């Protein structure tokens, strides 16, 4: 907004300067000077006032248009900041519920609140997907249409880390919903957890491989999910800071 004001001021000065230059630079026998000399100082003053008034009106119109465009851009950014805030807020809830759901299998063979957690987290997944679609649509000002499935595809932007967290949490939720998670007695306080996924017609299942690998290699799923959430929160916060008004 500050730069726009400077541009308008410079342009206004330039326009006035051009008119004055034309007024003073033409040949004497064809110039307005002779006419104005004949007409007197009052006519000269009226001409100069008219030139300034017209230039001022043009500059004011330009300023009003620039002000409107700047306001419109700010409103869009306010909407985007709100969506980013909602995405982060819901991701925090998703991470907490996913950790609780997985941890319940470390304690119970059949977690007592399994279905309630699945219902709650399932609603949050839908909200985040909708927010992602809205964000990319608003960001492109309607030029890009994002489908439900495309909303989770990596785009090399600040939301990739959020989508990574979403992916692992959704795999935990999906595995639990389809009863793929098996909790076995380990002889210790905490039970062992593994995935028992039926093979498809081709004999290969790759969708749950990231979660299976995480379970096999991780010392604490809850800690890993929290680290992913921290990265997502950091990326969203940095983006909001860059585009803050």
Segment 52-106, tens digit of pLDDT: 766 667 666 666 666 555 655 666 778 889 999 999 999 999 999 999 999 999 9
- Which candidate, 174, 152, 180, places its Cα nearest to that of 87? 152
User: Are 34 and 133 found together in one domain?
Assistant: no
Quick one: 227 and 139 in the same domain?
yes
Q: What is the spatial distance between Cα 118 and Cα 63, in angstroms, rounded to a whole number?
A: 54
Widest CA span in the chain: 113
**Is residue 157 located within the same domain as residue 183?**
yes
Chain-centre distance for alpha carbon 165: 17
Q: Which residues pair with 181 in a beta bridge?
A: 195
CA 173 remoteness from chain centre = 26
The residue that leads in pLDDT, 103 or 37, is: 103
Report which DSSP code applies to 66: H
Average of per-residue pLDDT across 121-137: 93
94 and 42 in a single domain? The answer is no
226 and 108 in a common domain? yes
Model confidence pLDDT, tens digit, residues 50-59 = 777 666 676 6
> Whole domain around residue 101: which residue ranges?
79-242
Which phi and psi angles does 204 have, rounded to 5°?
A: -130, 135
Q: How far apart are CA 234 and CA 194, in angstroms?
A: 31
What integer best gives the mean pLDDT of the chain?
Answer: 80
Same domain, 19 and 89: no
Span between the terminal Cα atoms of the chain, in Å: 11
Model pTM score:
0.71
Residue 193 CB: number of other CB atoms within 10 A? 17
């Amino acid at each position: 907004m500050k730069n726009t004001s400077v541009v308008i001021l410079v342009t206004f000065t330039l326009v006035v300067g051009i008119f004055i230059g034309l007024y003073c630079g033409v040949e004497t026998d064809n110039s307005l000077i002779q006419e104005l000399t004949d007409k007197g100082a009052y006519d000269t003053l009226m001409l100069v006032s008219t030139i300034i008034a017209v230039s001022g009106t043009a500059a004011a119109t330009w300023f009003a248009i620039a002000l409107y465009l700047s306001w419109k851009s700010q409103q869009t950014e306010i909407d985007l900041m709100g969506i980013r805030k909602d995405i982060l807020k819901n991701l925090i809830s998703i991470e907490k519920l996913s950790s609780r759901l997985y941890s319940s299998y470390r304690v119970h063979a059949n977690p007592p609140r399994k279905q309630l957690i699945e219902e709650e987290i399932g609603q949050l997944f839908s909200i985040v997907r909708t927010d992602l679609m809205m964000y990319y649509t608003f960001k492109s000002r309607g030029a890009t249409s994002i489908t439900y499935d495309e909303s989770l595809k990596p785009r090399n932007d600040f939301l990739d880390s959020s989508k990574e967290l979403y992916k692992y949490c959704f795999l935990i939720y999906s595995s639990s919903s389809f009863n793929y998670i098996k909790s076995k007695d380990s002889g210790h306080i905490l039970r062992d957890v593994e995935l028992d996924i039926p093979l498809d017609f081709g004999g290969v299942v790759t969708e749950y491989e990231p979660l299976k690998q995480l379970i096999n290699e991780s010392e604490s799923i809850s800690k890993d999910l929290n680290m992913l959430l921290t990265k997502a929160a950091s990326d969203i916060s940095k983006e909001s800071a860059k585009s803050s008004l």
